[in-house]
Amino acid sequence: MKAEQISLSTLDNRNVLGLIETSRNGVDLDTFDEITGEFPFDLSEWSRILHISERTIQRYRKDKRKFDSIHTDRLLQIMILLNKGIEVFGKNDNFLSWLNSLNIALGSVKPIELMDNSFGINMVTNELIKIEYGVLA
C-alpha cells in the first residue's frame, strides 16, 4: 500500500486504513508544520500534548526525522479533533475560544487541558458531537 500525502483538509476519521498507515510511517516536521499551522498552539503546547520534549522536536527538525509512530498517532487524533471543532463551530476563532474556556460538562476544565491523552481526546470529541446535535446538558 502506497503512503498518501496527509493534509489538514483531508484529515478525518473516515479513512482509517490511511490513518493507520500514516501513523506507522510517521509524519515529518514539514508536514507537522503544515497541518498544525492553522492552530495558534506554540511549541510548548504541542510538546505537552504530544508527550515529546521541545528539544526532541527541534532535533527531529534539524535531522529531518519523522515523528515516531506513537507521536504521529496522537498528532492525527488531535488534528481530527481540531477539524471536528472547526466543523462544529464554523470558525477557527470560535472553536479556539471554546477550547480555552472552562467547561462544566468536562469537569470544569478547559478542553485543551484534556487533549494530552486518548481518554481526554475522546471526551472532548464526544462533547463536540453533543454540541453539533444540540445536546447541551
Grid cell digits, residue 23 = 501513523
Look at residue 19 in the predicted model and tell me its pLDDT.
86
Task: Tell me the whole-structure pTM to 2 decimals.
Answer: 0.84
Query: Tell me: the pLDDT tens digits for 71-127?
Result: 999 999 998 999 899 999 988 889 999 999 999 999 999 999 999 999 999 999 999
Query: Tell me: the pLDDT tens digits for 10-58?
Result: 566 667 888 888 889 999 998 888 878 878 788 899 999 999 999 999 9
